[in-house]
Each structure stands twice: as structure tokens, then as C-alpha cells.
Amino acid sequence: MLQANGIADLIQQRQAARQQRDFVKADDIRDQLATVGITVVDQTNGEVHWHRQ
């Protein structure tokens, strides 16, 4: 199971990919998180929240 710091690292990588408009990579990271039970929620204000399923 990923620890909080590992999750935060992946979310930062996902954010960087989104800013670079590399949506395939961003989606791959989101899917990787989902396979270990992490749901990523993008807010309209640009914030990203996550929670365990």
C-alpha cells in the first residue's frame, strides 16, 4: 500500500503532467492510484484532493 508521501509524490507528478498538457500521462497516474484504492478529485479552483476508497 502506498504511504501518504508516495501518494503526494504521484499527485505532484500528475499535476505537472496536466500543466504540460500531457493528459495521457496524467490519466495513467490517476489510474495507477485507483488500482491501489486512491480516488483523485480535481476541484474547479485547481486544487486536487484525494481519498482512499
> pLDDT tens digits for 11-47?
999 999 999 999 999 999 999 999 999 999 999 998 9
d(CA 8, CA 19): 16
pLDDT of residue 53: 87
pLDDT of residue 26: 97
Q: Give me the long-range contacts of 9-12 (CB less than 8 A, separation at least 24).
A: 11/40, 11/48, 11/50
| Residue linked to cell 484525494 | 50
Three cell numbers written together for 51: 481519498
Strands 48-52 and 38-42: antiparallel
More confident residue, 53 or 14: 14
pLDDT of 4 higher than 90 = no
d(CA 24, CA 10): 14
pLDDT of residue 15: 96
